Amino acid sequence: MVRPYTHWAIWNTEDGKKVFADNRGKIMDKATAYETMRLISEFYDNVSDEDISEFNKELKKDQYEDLKEREEANKKQQEREREYKPTYMFIIKKVNEPCYKFKFGGYRVYGYVDEQKRLNTIKKQLDRRLDNIDKESEVPIELVDSFIYVHNAPGIHKHILEIYGSFRDEFDWYVLEDKVLAKIINYIESKMLEV
């Protein structure tokens, strides 16, 4: 029997014959193909063209409603991403090597009615991590720069990973030339909030 989650389609072979094949091109075995044709024939014997037209109209309507829901969810997601999200970031470097890591935090600080308390908590978190910077890595490191109150550090970190991820070594250190690092720092600075 055909598994419901397998996508089957009618394919044309090189010699012009039509066959049932899955989404990877694997041709359906004969027994399953005959059973499939029997079920298809049974379906078409019991419906009219009007029934099919009505089904297709309903399908199109459902697809349109689904699209609207996805567009609305996407719009809400974009609005959430644009929300004021004070966070922090800092960059560490292996001593005597052009290997960098981008660290962030503060994104879990929420629930404060007083915005100044929230900002102070984020600053304390950053200060605490910088005071214990040696714990950020098992190899000798130094602080390159820190950024307090950047907008949405997880989003910035994701952007850096998407654009510069190919520069990472097997230990997830970014091996960067100075000009590439400068470009990343400029990007982070462009996301800093005025508080």
List pLDDT tens digits, range 146-175: 999 888 899 999 999 999 999 999 889 999
The neighbour count for residue 143, using CB atoms within 10 Å, is 13
The CA-CA-CA angle for residues 192, 173, 187, to 5°, reads 20
Closest CA to 139 of 100, 185, 177, 168: 100
Tokens of residue 165, six digits: 């991820």
d(CA 141, CA 186): 22
Q: Check whether 6 has a pLDDT greater than 80.
A: no
Percent of the chain with pLDDT over 90: 54
How much is the pLDDT for 118?
81
Per the CB < 8 A criterion, the answer to whether 123 and 114 are in contact is no
Over the stretch 35-78, which tens digit does the pLDDT of each residue have? 989 999 999 999 999 999 999 999 999 999 999 999 998 888 77
Please determine, for residue 117, whether its predicted confidence score (pLDDT) is greater than 90. no
Question: Could you tell me which of 76, 82, 118 has the C-alpha nearest to residue 191?
Answer: 82
The predicted model gives 19-32 an average pLDDT of 86
Separation between Cα atoms, residue 155 and residue 81, nearest integer Å: 8
Residues 67-98: tens digit of each pLDDT = 999 999 888 877 766 666 788 999 999 999 99
State the pLDDT at residue 111: 61
Mean pLDDT, the chain, whole residue set? 87
